[in-house]
């Protein structure tokens, strides 16, 4: 099953943690061989709740590097035994 992750690359989200989150997502996808399209997008106007990203169309706000791995496990590896 192919997944889609879209990460906000607006200056606020990028500075608040999506720069680090992007690297963690890339490493995670490679480590677990996840079939995933990773894309960036410009600001969506939710700067106060950033850093923001979406996984398979579901939006997540205030995603920090500490919670990101748990989120990726829950959304990308939930079908694994």
Torsion-angle region of residue 45: left (phi > 0), alpha (psi -120 to 50) or beta? left
Topology of domain 3-76, CATH = Glutaredoxin (3.40.30)
The one-character DSSP state at 37 is E
Does residue 3 sit in helix, strand or coil? strand
CB 53 within 8 A of CB 8: yes
Q: Say how far apart CA 23 and CA 44 lie, in whole Å.
A: 21
The pLDDT tens digits of the residues spanning 18-48 come to 999 999 999 999 999 999 999 999 998 898 9
Cα dihedral 23, 25, 31, 34 sign: negative
pLDDT tens digits along 43-66: 988 989 999 999 999 999 999 998
């Amino acid at each position: 099953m192919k997944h889609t992750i879209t990460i906000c690359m607006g200056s606020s989200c990028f500075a608040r943690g999506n720069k680090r989150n992007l690297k963690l997502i890339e490493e995670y996808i490679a480590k677990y061989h996840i079939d995933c399209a990773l894309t960036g997008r410009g600001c969506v106007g939710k700067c106060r709740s950033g850093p923001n990203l979406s996984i398979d169309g579901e939006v997540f706000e205030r995603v920090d590097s500490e919670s990101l791995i748990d989120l990726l496990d829950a959304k990308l590896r939930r079908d694994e035994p």
